[in-house]
A = this chain, B = another copy of it.
Amino acid sequence: MKKHNFFAGPAILPQSVLEQASQAALSFGDMGLSILEISHRSPEFTAVLEEARALAKELLGFGDDYETLFLQGGASSQFFMVPMNLLDKDETACYVDTGNWSNKAIKEVKHFGNIDVIASSKDAGYTYIPKDYEIPSNAKYLHLTSNNTIYGTQFHAFPDTNVPIVCDMSSDIFSRPIPTEKFGMIYAGAQKNMGPAGTTLAIIRKDLLGKVNREIPTMLNYNTHIGKKSAFNTPPVFPIYVSLLTMRWVKEQGGVAAMELYNEEKGALLYDEIDRNPLFVGTSKKEDRSLMNVPFVMEKGYENLETTFLDVCKNNGIMGVKGYRTVGGFRASIYNAMSKESIQTLVDLMKDFADKNA
């Protein structure tokens, strides 16, 4: 039975990427060795790293004033590395709170400087993206989480401000074009739209660095990694290689503009069914709906059918649609590599389930 992978992360990757990754684990290029056992200083891997660094910027349209790094430690490590590198102890950073991931980022700022949480959608269970707030012009940076995997909300526009935006794009990187000029830095754990778990993309405007008065351990200083082209120490070779394969695939599909059109089509297919179907209801505000993570629940009065529908999904090869443990219900993650055909399979099941149970 064909499996349909709706996991929230680590998440679906293109089949062609998996096949190339599998092959490289046996024999990479014409080296006669596995990519798992070659030097990170070999010309072959250096070429991989350089292509990956360049392609990440090319896909998004960042210019020469930005540097690309492939780090380790997940986006969770960027939560503290951002203020450690960018915020002096008497300065203030602004954060917008749109859910779990924003909260984790917010928690780490106190070690390094002042924080001003200028907006939050906590009042409505994080079901929307705050829009009317003032950004103090003296803020060192404004931190946003572009997509919330748990609550299924997404920034469809970024604020107009002279304050550089630092944005956690872990769950929607490469899913659409972004206004690069607004960003001082973006970062993303690989394991949603970029590759397997084990590396974190960071794209940083160089002039923001080297301005804080604190001693930073070598490995935690962005400038250490920039100075060594992201190979100061042994980088996570295989996760970076598979991320490169995935970025090449995005480029082959027509780049992030083409991904956006496809993601809009896929999102419409699923959201339209949720809105039409008498058994299911979406949980996030329509104008802020995420095109990456689609949370929904049973309509009032039908909650007892939740387990039954999860069983139906399982029996039809639909994997990973159980909602996040603190939220319940369902969540279909439909990242770049998710096909329209898999979404159609889910939609057909929902229709059929309503016909039988509504």
Contact = CB atoms under 8 A, between A and B. Distances in A.
Contact of A320 (B39, B197, B199, B242): B39
Nearest to A22: B25
Interface of A: 1-3, 5, 7-13, 18-19, 21-23, 25-26, 31-34, 36-40, 42, 72-77, 79-80, 84, 104, 107-108, 110-111, 189, 191, 195-199, 215, 217-220, 232-239, 242, 317, 319-320
A39 B10 contact: yes
B10 A31 contact: no
Contacts of A75: 233
Contact of A218 (B108, B196, B242): B108
A317 B317 CA distance: 46
Contact of A219 (B76, B235, B237, B242): B76
Nearest to A191: B234
Nearest to A45: B10
Q: Which of the listed residues A2, A80, A219 has the most CB atoms from chain B within 10 Å of its own CB?
A: A219
A206 B189 CA distance: 29
8 contacts: A13-B34, A22-B25, A36-B195, A73-B73, A191-B237, A198-B199, A236-B239, A238-B238
Nearest to A218: B108
B111 A8 contact: no
A198 B72 contact: yes
A219 B80 contact: yes
Contacts of A11: 37
Given A3-B31, A80-B218, A234 B10 contact: yes
A3 B239 contact: no
Given A25-B22, A108-B217, A237-B197, A38 B77 contact: no
Nearest to A19: B26
A40 B73 contact: no
Given A31-B3, A40-B10, A220-B80, A233 B72 contact: no
A36 B9 contact: no
A164 B107 CA distance: 33
B10 A198 contact: no
A76 B232 contact: yes
A9 B39 CA distance: 6
A151 to B, nearest CB: 18
B196 A9 contact: no
Contacts of A199: 198
Nearest to A198: B236
A125 to B, nearest CB: 22
Contacts of A34: 13, 18, 21-22
Contacts of A195: 36
A93 to B, nearest CB: 15
B197 A236 contact: yes
A107 to B, nearest CB: 7
When A and B form their complex, which 9 residue pairs have the shortest distance between CB atoms, in order from nearest?
A198-B236, A80-B217, A72-B72, A36-B196, A22-B25, A3-B32, A76-B233, A197-B237, A22-B26
